[in-house]
Amino acid sequence: MKTPDIFDLYTDYLITSFSYTTATGLSGLVDNKISHDQITRFLSQQDFTSKELWKVIKKTVREIEMDEGVLIFDDTTQEKPQGKRSHLLA
């Protein structure tokens, strides 16, 4: 599968999920047509910064933009109750 296709599939998966999302979960959702390793490699190949995200979504945002509307992105991380504390997360 081509990178843009994986990107579209992965972002749709994130948008439509109501719970935790994982590469393994997405792979299972598409009947393993894309392995979790392919998804992980795709996500590891570059930094997905705010700037990169804006380049991808700018056209769509401008098409649906309204004066009274607000678009909010939340990059909050949540601790797992069963997980060990990490010094990397504040």
Q: Would you give per-residue pLDDT tens digits along the chain (90 residues)?
A: 666 688 889 888 988 888 889 999 999 999 999 999 999 998 898 887 878 878 888 888 888 888 888 877 777 777 767 766 666 655
Rounded (10°) CA dihedral 18, 21, 27, 28: -50
- Residue 30 has a pLDDT of 94
Question: CA–CA separation, 89 vs 70, rounded Å?
Answer: 28
Model pLDDT, residue 32: 94
Given this model, what pLDDT does residue 70 score? 81
Report pTM: 0.56
pLDDT of residue 71: 73
Sequence ranges of the domains in the chain: 3-64
